[in-house]
A and B are shown apart, each in its own frame.
Chain A
Amino acid sequence: MALHVGLFADAHTGEPVGDSIRAWMQIAVHELSVCQALLIQVAEHACKQGAAAVVRITIECGPLSGVEPTLLKDAFAIMRLGGIAAAAELCVVPTVVRIECIECGGRTETRPNRLVCAACGGFRTRVIAGGELRLRSMEMRTLEPRPNYGRTRMVSG
Chain B
Amino acid sequence: MCQICGCAIDRMGEPVVVEVLEGLLAANDRTAAHNRAHFDEHGVFVVNLMSSPGAGKTALLEATIVALRDRYRIAVIEGDLETDNDAVRIRAHGVPALQITTGTACHLDANLVHRALHALPLAAIDLLFIENVGNLVCPASFDLGQHRNVTLLSVTEGDDKPAKYPVIFRASDLVILSKTDLLWLMDDFDPRRAAAALRELGRGTPLIHTASRRTPAIDPWVDWLDRELAHHREPRYLPVPPARHIAGVPAQHAMARSADTRVKA
Binding site for B on A (CB under 8 A): 22, 25-26, 29-30, 33-34, 37-38, 40-41, 45, 49, 51, 55, 59, 64-67, 99, 102, 112-116, 123-128, 131, 133-145, 147-150
Known contacts A37-B25, A66-B140, A135-B22; is-contact A140 B104 (Cβ 8 Å): no
Bound together, the chains give a CA A22 to CA B82 distance in angstroms of 15
Q: In whole angstroms, what is the CA distance A137 to B104 when docked? A: 31
**B12 in contact with A142 (CB, 8 Å):** yes
A89 to B: closest C-beta gap in Å: 12
Q: Which A-chain residue is minimally distant from B19 (CB atoms)?
A: A137
| Chain B residues, Cβ within 8 Å of A131 | 248
Within 8 A of A (CB), among B23-52: 23-28
Among B11, B23, B162, the most chain A Cβ lie within 10 Å of the Cβ of: B23
Bound: A40/B166 CA distance, A: 29
Chain B residues touching A, range: 35 or more
Given contacts A26-B104, A64-B170, A139-B15, contact A145 B4 (CB under 8 A): yes
Please list the 4 inter-chain residue pairs (A to B) with the smallest Cβ-Cβ separation, ordered nearest first.
Answer: A115-B202, A30-B138, A125-B202, A113-B166
Who on chain A is nearest to B249 by CB?
A: A126
**Interface SS of A by simple majority:** mixed
Measured CB to CB, the residues of B under 8 A from A are 2, 4-5, 9, 11-28, 104-107, 109, 137-138, 140-142, 162-164, 166-168, 170, 197, 199-204, 247-249, 253, 257
- A40:B106 contact, CB within 8 angstroms: no
Q: How far is the CB of A105 from chain B (nearest CB, A)?
A: 10
Q: Are B137 and A66 in contact (CB under 8 A)?
A: yes
| Contact of B104 (CB < 8 Å), options: A25, A99, A126 | A25
